[in-house]
Chain A
Amino acid sequence: MSNLSVLIEAPILLVQLVVSGILVGAIFALVAYGMALVWGVMNIINIAQGEFVMLGGYVVFYLAGAGVPPLLGIPIAAATMFALSFALYRAVIHRIVGRDMFVSILATFGISILLQQLANQLFSADIRTLSSGLPSLSFDNGMISIAGVKVVGFVAALVVGAALFLFLRHTRIGRAIRATAQNARAARVLGIDTDRVYATTFALNGAICGAAGGLVAMTWFVQPYLGLTYTLRSFMIVVAAGLGNLPGVIVAGSALGVLEEAAGFVLGAEYQTAFIFLLLIVLLVGRNLLLWRQRKYLR
């Protein structure tokens, strides 16, 4: 393939692809943290995850329009989405916790459509974008360039990952969350208000998504229909990392990012998405084979 030969001739391009992949993957990893949290603790696969990201992006966009510097808008977006997710939990989500996971998939799917279309009606489908005001870093005479905001995204993913890890391990609420994830009934018996735990977890997810949304708006753009991409990729990352493996999320995210860039370069970008989904299917089949072996022993 001619694309492959280009890569071989100029290995420096491989570096650009890898760097780009890691940075892009980090933003998806950020969203995946939230997805893993909600899935692990509440046993809900949140199909509306991408829509939370999208809304966070709009918050930052409109704040910027009102004069708030975009980078400052990120924590505000996180706070806004925290509140919104909390409200959503109280309104709808608390009714589907503990039910069949299929129910949660459908319900959150309905929410995702609702939010997406509401956004379309309220904000219009125009592509909105923001400048972070950060410079691009350039190396090797321009052969490698990194957008400053992507570095911020990567750092954010690391920071949030670490913060979550410490939070879950060393704070009371964090431990309550972990206890509830392990065994909700036992946690309740021990006096933990699991409803509050769930609300906090869901709201936390919202906050993470909100922050990610702000980064997305500055790195690329925001429009009402960008949600599905983030939902699917964050799901893939969680599956690849393995549920419960938070540090693995950023690794999986970056790995996925690199694979996607490489596949896009070599196979042609139109096969990029198909490639990683195929990968996902292969992963699932492979994972299943391992489980099947386990199941055999149980007979």
Chain B
Amino acid sequence: MHSKRNLLKAALAAALLGVAMPGTAATDDTITLGAAVSLTGKYSTNGKNTKDGYDLAAKVINDKGGVKIGGKAYKLKIVYYDDESTSARGAQLVERLIAQDHVDFVLGPYSSALTKSIAPVTEKYKMPMVEGNGADRDLFKQGYKYLFAVLNTSDYYLREAVNILAEQAKAAGRDPKSIKIAIAIENDNFSQDVRDGIVEDAKKYGMQIVIDDKLPADLNDMTATLTKVKALKPDALMISGHEKGAVLGIRQVAEQKVYVPMLALTHCDSAQITEKFGKESDYAFCGSQWDVSMTYKDHWFGDSKNYADMFKKAYNYDPPYQAAESTASVEVFADAIGRAGSVDKDKVRDALAKTDLMTFYGPVKFDASGKNIAKSMVMYQVQHEKYVVVAPSKWAEGKPIYPAPTWDKREADSKVSRK
């Protein structure tokens, strides 16, 4: 009797599991894209940026006629699951999207870790995936044929900062080999790659890495590292720790009056450092995949400024680059599907491989491993509380200010300006 109840329970459980998995059949004039994004968990801020980027893209593309296949207009629809910022979850959910929900194509998640866990799944199912938020170089060393990334790999975020250091040194008559760099990264996938990029370029010039700190995951206080910086007086301090790293970096460097001629960070715009810190964020260098001042154009969004306006109108905040690259991913799909003239996965995959598209986010062209080789990373500096693009020189709006003025001089300047 008790055992029968157990058996019944087991059967009920199995049945429920079956019910819990909805399967959706693609309707006749819709192309369904599936995505597992981080709506909760440590990446939820950027996960939301990603989702908003995807949604805006689908909306605008649909409004402007959708995707045309054989003369017929198809609308884009995006289905989401929350991966909770967990890699295991992400892989499971993408599998569900493919095997149960029968989505036509897959859009990438937020973060390299999640993309790394999802890519084997899409590859196994021969499902094309276009992603804009997984920048780890490892992704492109696995021989994946169905993975396409619109963004630059993460090691490029701060390479330009190293280059600027070298240029400035030469201009000042200094041997680049004498330059000392301090690195502090959050101990995660993405930041490790950023660090590797810095170290590689630094080695190219013969620069020394005097501090190479990994900050703990529950990163709260950088005092230990900053104390080292005060002792060793490097020429640059480069911090990569997502938004937390940017916020802590600016705050504690200012608080403890740590002087470094160059402070370079990632995730400045999504951390909103100018809004949060005002003057204290001045002179910081920021690596970014995209900037609103870029004058790339496409026929869906116009130029970057136009995109930013549309985004702000829809979601009430300025789009960080995570949103822009998500939008671009959808654009790439729309373009490729149109060229393939079908939703057949292999045909679209081949069309993706041949992409040569200009978007507001930047030019997109994939090499054999799936990474975008046409776009370059942007580096800007906060000058007078505004982001000014200083590299690459083709798109630069202004010159980098290096070295940054000392804290005494900054206080003196601000007193002067108040008068």
Report which A residues bind B (CB closer than 8 A): 3, 6, 9-10, 13, 16-17, 20, 24, 117, 120-121, 124-127, 129, 136, 138, 142-143, 145, 147, 220-221, 223, 225-226, 228-229, 261, 264-265, 268-273
Cβ–Cβ < 8 Å partners of A129 in chain B: 247, 251, 276
A269 vs B407: C-alpha distance in the bound complex, in angstroms?
A: 26
* Residue pair A273, B255 in contact (C-beta under 8 Å): no
Per a CB cutoff under 8 Å, which of A17, A136, A268 touches B255?
A136
Whether B271 pairs with A265 at a CB distance below 8 angstroms is: no
> B196 near A: Cβ within 8 Å?
no
Size of interface on B: residues with Cβ below 8 Å to A: 37
A6 with B228, Cβ < 8 A, contacts A126-B45, A145-B257, A229-B220 known: yes
A130 to B, closest residue via Cβ? B276
The reply to whether B248 and A269 form a contact with Cβ atoms under 8 Å apart is no
Binds A, one of B72-80, B94-102, B208-216, B292-300: B208-216
Whether A127 contacts B271 in the complex (CB less than 8 A), given A16-B223, A261-B223, comes out as yes
Complex Cα–Cα for A220 and B250 (A) = 11
Q: How far is A138 from B40 in the complex, measured between Cα atoms in Å?
A: 40
Determine which of B41, B184, B187, B223 lies in contact with A17 in the assembled complex, contact meaning CB atoms within 8 Å: B223
Q: Is B221 an interface residue (CB 8 A)?
A: yes
Task: Please give, as numbers and ranges, the residues of chain B lying within 8 Å of A9 by CB-CB distance.
Answer: 231
B369 sits at the interface (CB 8 A): no
Q: A64: shortest Cβ distance to chain B, in Å?
A: 12
Closest Cβ of chain A to B257, distance in Å, is: 5
Beyond known contacts A120-B40, A124-B44, A269-B225: 12 more, CB 8 A cutoff: A13-B230, A16-B227, A20-B221, A120-B44, A127-B243, A127-B247, A138-B257, A221-B248, A221-B251, A265-B228, A270-B215, A271-B216
Interface string of B351-365 (1 = CB under 8 A from A): 000000000000000
Whether the Cβ atoms of A145 and B244 lie closer than 8 Å is no
Cβ-defined contact, A127 with B244, below 8 A? yes
When each residue 201-235 of chain B gets 1 if its CB lies under 8 Å from chain A and 0 otherwise, what string results? Answer: 00000000000011111101101110110111000
Q: Kindly provide the distance from the CB of A218 to the nearest chain B CB, expressed in whole angstroms.
A: 10
Bound: A221/B221 CA distance, A: 10
Residues of chain A with a CB closer than 8 A to B231's CB: 6, 9-10, 13
- State which of A136, A228, A264 has its C-beta within 8 Å of the C-beta of B224: A264
Q: Which 9 A-B pairs have the closest CB atoms?
A: A270-B214, A264-B224, A125-B44, A145-B256, A265-B224, A229-B218, A20-B223, A125-B45, A147-B255
A150 nearest CB neighbor, chain B only: B255
Cα–Cα, bound, A129→B187 (Å): 22
B230 touches A142 (CB 8 A): yes
Within the assembled complex, what's the spacing in Å between the Cα atoms of A24 and B407? 24
A24 to B224: give the CA distance in the assembly, Å.
Answer: 12
Which residue of A has the minimal Cβ distance to B280? A131
B49 CB, min distance to chain A CBs, angstroms: 10
Q: Count how many pairs of residues, one from A and one from B, have CB atoms less than 8 Å apart in the complex.
A: 104
Q: Which of A24, A126, A145, A268 meets B221, CB within 8 Å?
A: A24
Known contacts A120-B44, A125-B45, A142-B230, A220 near B220 by CB under 8 Å: yes
Q: Does B126 contact A (CB under 8 A)?
A: no
The answer to whether A228 touches B218, judged by C-beta atoms less than 8 angstroms apart, is: yes
Assembled-state Cα–Cα distance A33/B43 (Å): 32
B-side contacts of A229, CB under 8 Å: 218, 220
Please name all residues of chain A whose beta carbon is closer than 8 Å to the beta carbon of B225 when the two chains form the complex.
264, 269
What is the distance, in angstroms, from A79's C-beta to the closest C-beta of chain B? Answer: 26
For residue B375, CB closer than 8 A to chain A, the reply is no
The interface centre, meaning the residue of B44, B225, B255, B257 with most chain A CB atoms within 10 A of its CB, is: B255
Complex CA–CA separation, A107 to B215 (angstroms)? 32
Partner of B216, one of A13, A17, A142, A272: A272
Q: Are A6 and B232 in contact (CB under 8 A)?
A: yes
Q: Contact check: which of B187, B228, B256 meets A270 at CB < 8 Å?
A: B187
Q: How far is the CA of A228 from the CA of B218 in the complex (A)?
A: 9
A-B contact pairs, 7 of them (CB 8 A): A6-B231, A120-B40, A125-B40, A220-B220, A221-B251, A268-B214, A270-B214
Find out whether the CB atom of B256 lies under 8 angstroms from the CB atom of A265: no
B255 lies within 8 A of A145 (CB): yes
Q: How far is the CA of A198 from the CA of B389 in the complex (A)?
A: 59
Q: How far is the CA of A121 from the CA of B41 in the complex (A)?
A: 10
Q: Which residue of B lies closest to A225 (CB)?
A: B42
Chain B positions within 8 Å of A228 at CB level: 218
- Select B230's contact among A24, A143, A226, beta carbons within 8 Å: A143
Q: Is the CB of A142 within 8 A of B257?
A: yes
Check if B347 is an interface residue, CB within 8 A of chain A: no
> Bound state CA distance, A125 and B230, in angstroms?
32
Residue of A nearest to B45 (CB): A125
> Which one, A10, A24, A143, A221, contacts B244 given CB within 8 A?
A221
For the complex formed, measure the closest distance between the CB of B201 and the CB atoms of chain A, giving whole angstroms: 23
Chain A positions within 8 Å of B248 at CB level? 220-221
Q: Given that A13-B231, A136-B255, A229-B220 are contacting pairs, would A125 and B42 also be in contact in the complex, using a CB cutoff of 8 Å? A: yes
Please give me the residue from chain A that is nearest to B225 by CB atom. Answer: A269
Bound-state CA distance A226–B227 (Å) is 24
